[in-house]
Amino acid sequence: MPPASSPDHPHGHPLDADAPDAPPVSISARLGRLQFHNSGKFRVLQLADIQDGPKVASDTVRLIAAALDAARPDVVVLSGNQIAGYDEAYAPTFRKRRWNGGWNRMSRRQEERYAASLRHTHDLVRQGIEQFLKPMIDRGIPWAVTYGNHDFQCGLDNAELDAIYREFPGCLNPESTATGYGRPRTSPVSGLPDERILPCEPGTFALPVCDVDRTHTVLGLVMVDSGDYDLLGGYGAPSPRALAFLADAPKMLGARCMAFQHIPVPQYYRLLKEVSATTAHAVEGYRAFSGRHFVIDETTTLPGSYLGEGVSCPDQDSGEFDVLHAARYFALAAGHDHRNRFVGKVDGVALAATPTCGFGSYGPAPAQRAVRLIEFDTRHPHDPRTQLLEFGALCGKPGSHKAYTYALNSTAPSPGETIDLLDRPGLIRRMLQRLGGDRHIRRRR
């Protein structure tokens, strides 16, 4: 990030988010839309799989707050499964699958009771959402949300969840209507009055990011509802409408895009190497890939990549990756697999697996729960750098024992990603950057 005396920090000192009337931590929020800074940088923070009930684990909130203070992102992306819809608090309205519903078999009295239960669930969900959004709201950082396979299980559909999120400051999720496909609109509560958002459906929309002079769109951030479950078994896929929007968004924005969603596509397996079951650290694939065993392919992934569980993708290939490739997307970031943390390129598209940042469900050791920082540079805007910001490094020891670790017989992740995007450059390095001499520090992809 730029030094405190740069034009991006007009007050000449670090911002104090707790100070009265402090300006937003997000530089884009201060400028009124998502855009690159005078420093030539733009930052996104991805939060994957908070996955908790009405009482969000305090360590989850600690990690989010610490990461925001360390990274000072322009925008935060919540990539699905914020809500653990199976939590016992939502038992009266729980739906295992979206198509499970008892309305047609209910008496009028049962319907009234269920409606009352839904209102209570609504209040509980809002209570949980407020807790994990508070760090962003307090710091004036805008945020965008998509959905996973557990959010709806509380009994509220994505449109109802979208409406709850829009009650909070900073929300970039636009209202979606049948006739509003791709028609630019603003989000009144986003704090970005000049941001023109392209809507599709709840959880699927596009955000343009413009250059520092606001003359053109440099790139797009596309949020995708990747579905939940398939009628035939396994995980679902984006709707036909969402797939069409994925194809159209780069044309509508006039720029290449990066997508964020919950469930990974099957092509993530192409970043792995198939091995025998007896190979050290081998992990069995999921469903369509079961009976086969894999390890990270170090020739195609970045240093520090780690495979902690089989990639839980849909059984059937929906063709989403082909859409991304044909539309020249440069990257896709997904969550869903709480213990996976790897990045690599497939046919020129960077695929990132981001671990859970939550402490309310399974995952890696508490110290390794993390959020993903993605930094874009105007000199190479479609080849961003990325780093996982881990709880242990930012917060130290967890304050509770709520989180539990899955697959304890697996090896610990290798020593993290080798790049440090939080490094504050010294005088010599800043001089080299001005002369364009820092390119050697960029990691190859």
Q: Domain residues of the chain, as ranges?
A: 27-441
Sequence-separated (6 or more) residues with CB below 8 Å from residue 125? 54, 83, 90, 154, 156, 161, 164
Torsion region of 234: left, alpha or beta (phi above 0 gives left; psi -120 to 50 gives alpha): left
Crossing angle for the helix pair 108-139 and 58-71, to the nearest 10 degrees: 40
Indicate the DSSP class of residue 23. Answer: P
d(CA 337, CA 135): 24
d(CA 330, CA 171): 25
Indicate the DSSP class of residue 179. Answer: T
Indicate the DSSP class of residue 338. Answer: T
Indicate the DSSP class of residue 348. Answer: T
The burial of 392, by beta-carbon neighbours within 10 Å (0-12 exposed, 13-18 middle, 19 or more buried), is given as: middle
* CA distances, 209 to each of 251, 258, 411 (Å): 14, 11, 39
Nearest partner of 184 among 33, 27, 30, 31, judged by Cα: 33
d(CA 85, CA 148): 10
- Check the CA dihedral 199-200-205-207 and report its sign: negative
Per-residue model confidence (pLDDT) at position 333: 99
pLDDT digits (tens, 9 = 90+) for 279-300: 999 999 999 999 999 999 999 9
CATH topology of domain 27-441: Purple Acid Phosphatase; chain A, domain 2 (3.60.21)
pLDDT digits (tens, 9 = 90+) for 363-377: 999 999 999 999 999
> What pTM did the predictor assign?
0.88
Sequence-separated (6 or more) residues with CB below 8 Å from residue 107? none
Element (H, E) at 44: strand 41-47
d(CA 403, CA 359): 5
Element (H, E) at 208: strand 204-210
With tokens 């024992």, the residue in question is 401
For 123-142, give the secondary structure using H, E and C. Answer: HHHHHHHHHHHHHHHHHCCC
Per-residue model confidence (pLDDT) at position 422: 81
Is there a contact between 70 and 141 (Cβ–Cβ < 8 Å)?
A: no
Is there a contact between 100 and 393 (Cβ–Cβ < 8 Å)?
A: no
Per-residue model confidence (pLDDT) at position 180: 82
Over its length of 445 residues, how does the chain's per-residue pLDDT go in tens digits? 333 333 333 333 333 444 446 789 999 999 999 999 999 999 999 999 999 999 999 999 999 999 999 999 999 999 999 999 999 999 999 999 988 864 556 778 888 899 999 999 999 999 999 999 999 999 999 999 999 999 999 999 999 999 999 999 999 999 987 678 889 999 999 999 999 999 999 999 999 999 999 999 999 999 999 999 999 999 999 999 999 999 999 999 999 999 999 999 999 999 999 999 999 999 999 999 999 999 999 999 999 999 999 999 999 999 999 999 999 999 999 999 999 999 999 999 999 999 999 999 999 999 999 999 999 999 999 999 999 999 999 999 998 766 665 543 344 444 555 578 886 555 444 444 444 433 332 333 3
Structure-derived torsion over alpha carbons of residues 214, 429, 141, 125, reported in degrees to the nearest 10: 130
User: Residue 388 half-sphere exposure, CB side, CA atoms within 13 Å?
Assistant: 32
